[in-house]
Amino acid sequence: MTSPIPAIEVRHLTKRFGNFTALDDISFDLWPGETVGLLGPNGAGKTTTIQLLLNVMTPTSGSIRIFGLDLQRHRKTVLKHVNFSSTYISMPFSLTVEENLRVIAKLYGLSDVSRKIDDVIKKLEMADIRHKLTRKLSSGQMTRLTLAKAVMTDPKILLLDEPTASLDPDIAHKIKAFLKEYRNTAGLSMLYTSHNMREMEEMSDRIIFLQRGRIVAQGTVEEIVRQYGQRDLEAVFLKLAREQD
């Protein structure tokens, strides 16, 4: 029987900026239908990893394969199946929420655009802001918009940077439930970052811990907590953060 192909296969990935090494020889896999939490203190290399996976920067060395295809050589093909949501990105402020989604649909060459927009607005409970100018959105509303533009393209891989940041607890709960259901029904693979340790425990099948650009731990939450002799994931995070300072 043929072994399944990882959704993402990272091997010996290194990124240097002059004399500074942001990522130092990291390797990991993300499997179809799996959610992996990427965790680490500020400056550990999480953002650099995501930027490399999106091919917005070139690695110093190492390789990235998406569903078996080399990212550098097959960029256009593989990035059709990848999307990204972050609370820290912005979208054209002069457009309404719906107009922004229509622009994304056009860029991705989507068909049946009105139905897709209706569907994502309903699932993310955005009907009240559908015709609102983006510049007038609250931070929580902007977070929902960036998630909507990411899932509307039906990606096979979703890179999520703080997807529930700035959301009220009830909306955050609904967003997490939506992501779980989407993963289970569509076989979606997710790489997930958050500073909310309970959220990381709830959402992640496995955790990858970065410290100073290197992977210092990989495994389930239980395995990592046991490895570091701590009571929970938050205690492990605080221990590693102190060591990096």
Q: What is the pLDDT of residue 134?
A: 96
Mean pLDDT of 44-64: 95
Is residue 119 a contact partner of residue 164, using CB atoms and an 8 Å limit? no
Amino acid at 211: Q
- The per-residue pLDDT for range 117-132, each reduced to its tens digit, is 999 999 999 999 999 9
Query: In the structure, what pLDDT confidence band is assigned to residue 100 with cuts at 50, 70 and 90?
Result: very high
State both tokens at 7. Answer: 């959704």
Q: Which of the 8 DSSP states describes residue 124?
A: T
Q: Which pLDDT score is estimated for 3? A: 53
Q: Could you tell me how far CA 170 lies from the centroid of its own chain?
A: 21
The pLDDT of 197-213, averaged and rounded, is: 94
Strand, coil or helix: 195: coil
Say how far apart CA 5 and CA 29 lie, in whole Å: 10
The label of the residue with tokens 């811990």 reads 209
d(CA 112, CA 102): 11
pLDDT in tens, 167-179: 888 888 988 999 9
